[in-house]
Structure 1
Amino acid sequence: MKKNILSWLPVLLWCSLIYYLSSLPHLKTELGVWDLVLRKIAHVTEYAVLFLLVRRAVSHTASSRRTPFVHTVAVIFSVLYAASDEYHQSFVPGRGPSVVDVGIDTAGVMTGLLLWWMWEHLPVRYQRVRFFNKLQECIIKEPN
């Protein structure tokens, strides 16, 4: 029982962070078009992480741990949270709800699903290690 409750703690903390960020009025910066791009990337990232956290919590607590069920619950939860977050923003000065943002958040949820699928379907651990080594090489290039 305690493990079941603890598996939802990261979801609660992440949802609280999203709620807090949505409560901040006037989040625009002086970055021009980059402001919009960075905010939309943040939307995708927040909801990809939310999907992964919810997926993990559901897989630890649901009576049915079958993958389609777990994914369906995680997607529905995450998309409904995105919609409720936009509704919440209608009460924040300088903010407003946006159907487009719900769509972008949903794209984030699908990104999380894709990341999970990629992780699960890399055939062996060795290939996962190679994948992350290649990723690290791309990010941190050593001088010649």
Structure 2
Amino acid sequence: MYKFLRWLPAIMMMSAIFAFSSIPSTEMPSFDWADMLVKKGGHMTGYALLALAYWRALGWDKKRWWLPVVMAVLFSATDELHQSFVPGRHPSPVDVLVFDSGGAILGVTLAGWFRARKQKGDLPGRP
């Protein structure tokens, strides 16, 4: 049961990403001038959180930091394929190769940096 609970955040993130990807383009809000910034920022944030959820589920193994990144990028590729079946949406290799993979790498890098600092005692722990 505990192993399932470790994967629950990743499952929830994958479900949220899938749900957002299922929205037809005609029903998506338009952010006018900030459209690109909001959407691409959402890609990076979502995949940073997904990679962190994967890494947590895998036990924060420092030697295999790359595995949650690969898992997030593979999920991203399948999600872009899924978008090809949603009215008005289309798959974007740029989203996968730049924004989603960049977000996953950024998330794992920042988490690794914070975890290393905390282990050295540079960051305060929980009370």
Match of 1:19 in 2: 18
State the Cα distance separating 1:66 from its structure 2 match. 4.1
CA distance in 1 between counterparts of 2:4 and 2:14 reads 15
SS, match of residue 75 in structure 2: helix
Amino acid at match of 1:49: L
Match of 2:33 in 1: 33
Which digits, 9 at most, give the CA deviation of each residue in 1:20-58, with x for residues without a partner?
0000011250x3230111100000000000000000001
Match of 2:57 in 1: 57
Which digits, 9 at most, give the CA deviation of each residue in 1:88-144, with x for residues without a partner?
0000011100000002100000111111122122232xx424xxxxxxxxxxxxxxx
Paired positions, count = 119
Of 94, 104, 112 in structure 2, the residue corresponding to residue 117 of structure 1 is 112
Q: TM-score, normalised by structure 1?
A: 0.77
CA distance in 2 between counterparts of 1:80 and 1:7 reads 20
Match of 1:6 in 2: 5
Q: TM-score, normalised by structure 2?
A: 0.87
CA distance in 2 between counterparts of 1:101 and 1:109 reads 12
Of 58, 68, 93 in structure 2, the residue corresponding to residue 74 of structure 1 is 68
Residue 107 to residue 33, structure 1, CA distance change in 2 (3 Å): same
RMSD: 1.5
Q: Choose 1 or 2 for highest CA Rg.
A: 1
Say whether 1:106 aligns with 2:101. yes
Deviates more, 1:37-46 or 1:4-13: 4-13
Deviating beyond 3 angstroms after TM superposition, the runs of 4 or more aligned structure 1 residues are none
State the Cα distance separating 1:73 from its structure 2 match. 2.1
Return 5+ residue gaps in structure 2 as ranges. Answer: none
SS, match of residue 123 in structure 2: helix
Return 5+ residue gaps in structure 1 as ranges. Answer: 60-64, 130-144
2:55–2:61 contact (8 Å) kept in structure 1: no
Q: Percent identity among equivalent residues?
A: 35
